[in-house]
Amino acid sequence: MRAQLSIASGVREFATTAPAAIAVIDGDRRLSYAALHDRSSRLANALLSSGLIPGDTVALLLANQLEYPEAAAGLAKAGLVMVPLNPRLTPSEIAFIVEHSRARALIVDAALGDRAGAVAGALEIVLVTGDGGSYEAALAGAPSRDPRVSVSENDPFCVAYTSGTTGNPKGVLISHRSRALTFYASALEWGLGPGRRSIAVAPMYHGAGFAFGYGAIHTGGTVSMLRSWDPERLLAMIEKDRAQSVFMVPTHAQTIRALGDLALRRHDLSSLDTLFFNAAALPVPLKEWVLDTFPAVGVHELYGSTEAGIVTNLRPAEARRKAGSVGHAWFMTEVRIVDDIGAPVPAGSPGELFSRSPYLMNGYLRDPEATRACMTEDGFLTSGDIAVSDDEGFIRIVDRKKDLIITGGVNVYPRDVEIAIDGCPGVVESAVVGERDETWGERVVAYVVGETSANEIESHLRLRLAGYKIPKAIRFVPQLPRNSAGKVLKRELRKDA
């Protein structure tokens, strides 16, 4: 019988081959691989001895902190399934996820205890991290022997809940095999691995944040925990911990740019050699700034989703020539761009993007109808995104299919309009949505962050866009609403219209 891939295998491996190497840095706290192995085994035994059985779900309500990777490893060792919770959710939203996932236990940071609301009292086991908390007491009282519960690599290690843009969020079942392969491929692509130093910038409760934060540990590197987003703090951490490879979303780059050149010059960032971005396309002007500001750094732009994992990547060699693209299909991934009846579209024509790879989800938890709706019979999964492939096979994400605007019977892809607006002097960023209109069905409306005027934007656009694409209204806002992954919440803009 062949060995099964597990997200716990990296911790086990490096606890043997590099026990003294530092796996996690969290402020003044350091955790070696030997200690990470010991503590995660103790957690696994503590949960199993409390009555949990393999296959049970355990919710995590934690920030980016030392306990996150050890909890993930401990749950995997025990054959338990992790349910990450976003600390920004309301108590009622957390309650829905805990109930829907049928979680029997909760691991929560003391500082976030109020977010757990009433669910904590209804759960069988609640472990609270922090000085004097029940989490440390549970670890101290449990044996350090690795329980090594047998789990198939195709079994879920995690139920990750979507952001719920249309109704309640859905639980995405992600297997050990999916994430373990993601870790190894990420190490090959983005410079994770033994001796390499990274920073967990994106939240660990999000799919990409976990993949790249925990991926550094799974492959023998060191990850420093950025507890909450602070651009100046990140620059200081890069200097202090000599970080080499850092994952960010476009919003992070925007706020770093807003600090100004002086702030960047205050820090020694010479250790940095790789930056990789996800969550939304980097606006071309922002990407040019990143490339100019970090000329010795390889800049990647990737695309993916919770359900599909990583789908494409644009590598540094093509970063300038193909700015605006998310590259080609990633390792072990097949991509299709098809029309409404499933037929492939030619280069230059928009279509719905599907992918097939070993990273795909197992399905939605207890929702076979939704699972069938997004999968083809031959195993391709829809992203829900509209994409265009050029004659060299480079893919550009045009928009979310549900965000398509139909005005006067003509299709308008908001991303095309946003790219044009973002190129206007004085514009920081923009978001374009459709609003109901009695005459046209929908009208194009732009929300803009920046210091310019509606007239200047309109003059800029008339040289670049067909008349029907030009927004009928331009509204200035101090910032765009975003979720924890950095994606713009267009539903919030539509709601305020």
- Is 33 in a helix, a strand, or coil? helix
Q: Helices in 128-281 by DSSP H: which ranges?
A: 134-140, 176-190, 207-218, 231-241, 250-259, 261-265
* Dihedral angle of Cα 31, 275, 176, 80, to the nearest 10 degrees: 40
pLDDT of 162:
85
CA nearest to 485, candidates 163, 82, 112, 158: 163
**CA gap 363, 306 in Å, rounded:** 11
**Residue 193 CB coordination number (10 Å):** 19
**CA gap 55, 226 in Å, rounded:** 31
**CA gap 227, 213 in Å, rounded:** 12
Q: For the domain 229-400, what is the CATH code?
A: 3.40.50.12780
Q: For the domain 9-200, what is the CATH code?
A: 3.40.50.980
The domain ranges of the chain are 9-200, 229-400, 404-496
Question: Both ends of the chain: CA-CA distance in Å?
Answer: 59
- Is 434 in a helix, a strand, or coil? strand
Which superfamily does CATH assign the domain made up of 404-496 to? ANL, C-terminal domain (3.30.300.30)
**CA gap 445, 399 in Å, rounded:** 15
Bridge partners, residue 223, by sequence: 24, 198
Q: How does pLDDT run along the chain (497 residues), one tens digit per residue?
A: 678 999 999 999 999 999 999 999 999 999 999 999 999 999 999 999 999 999 999 999 999 999 999 999 999 999 999 999 998 888 888 999 999 999 999 999 999 988 887 788 889 899 999 988 999 999 999 999 999 999 999 999 999 998 654 467 899 999 999 999 999 999 999 999 999 999 999 999 999 999 999 999 999 999 999 999 999 999 999 999 999 999 998 889 989 999 999 999 999 999 999 999 997 778 888 999 999 999 999 999 999 999 999 999 999 999 999 999 999 999 999 999 999 899 999 999 999 999 999 999 999 999 999 999 999 999 999 988 999 999 999 999 987 778 888 887 777 888 889 989 999 999 999 999 988 887 777 889 999 999 999 999 999 999 998 888 999 999 999 999 987 667 788 888 886 65
Please check whether the two domains, 9-200 and 404-496, share a CATH topology: no
Contacts of 151 (CB under 8 A, 6+ apart): 4, 6, 54, 76, 79, 157, 176
**CA gap 67, 355 in Å, rounded:** 34
**Helix (H) or strand (E) run with residue 412 in it:** strand 410-412
Reported residue count of the chain is 497
pLDDT of 166:
47
CB 238 within 8 A of CB 246: yes
**Which pTM value belongs to this model?**
0.87
**Helix (H) or strand (E) run with residue 437 in it:** strand 427-437
